[in-house]
Structure 1
Amino acid sequence: VKFHSTYIITISDQVKFHSTYIITISDQVKFHSTYIITISDQVKFHSTYIIIISDQVKFHSTYIITIGDQVKFHSTYIIIISDQVKFHSTYIIIISDQVKFHSTYIIIISDQVKFH
């Protein structure tokens, strides 16, 4: 039961070694949902991006996740959004950095019954 849902996932990078991107979107009963996930980077080594969005009964939800960086080594990004019964929710997660070594980002948003 999906209505007017838009998923835009863009991965643009150069010179990548041992990179793993896992993006999972699992949802039911969605109305006017927009997911924009952009990963743009250069010169990456041993990078792991895990983005999981699992939700049910969503109305007018907008997720914007942007990761823009250069020269990354041994980086791990884990972004988990798990929620139920959401109305008019907006998540904007922006990670923009340069020259990162052994970086770990864990962002977890888990909630239930959210309005506005």
Structure 2
Amino acid sequence: PVRVIGAHLGLTGRARREQMHALARAAQREDSAVVLAGDFNEWSRGTVLQHIAPGLTFLPPKASFPALRPLGALDRIAHCRRLKALAHGVHGARPAHIASDHLPVWADLRVV
């Protein structure tokens, strides 16, 4: 089984850290592989979130916001060690830009 968690983290750094701590605990499940995806509201391209959730692998962020002219890599995908990312990216084909102010991110994952 694979558990997929969709998230929309808070706007302040403190809120994001608290939310990531809770999500990291949820991702430590023994009964399933875990994927965490969504709007992390983290402008840094560094490893801020990786330090909070070392049990998750965060795929390198790609620009997905704003949809019309993506500059920020706010939308991200992370996965547990039971999974391996084969590819990932941002779906930029039209009409994705009118569905939301964020472009959708995607990943091809394989159970290892």
**Bin of the TM-score, shorter chain as denominator length:** under 0.3
Q: Scaled by the length of structure 2, what TM-score is found?
A: 0.27
Structure having the larger proportion of residues in helix = 2
Q: Scaled by the length of structure 1, what TM-score is found?
A: 0.27
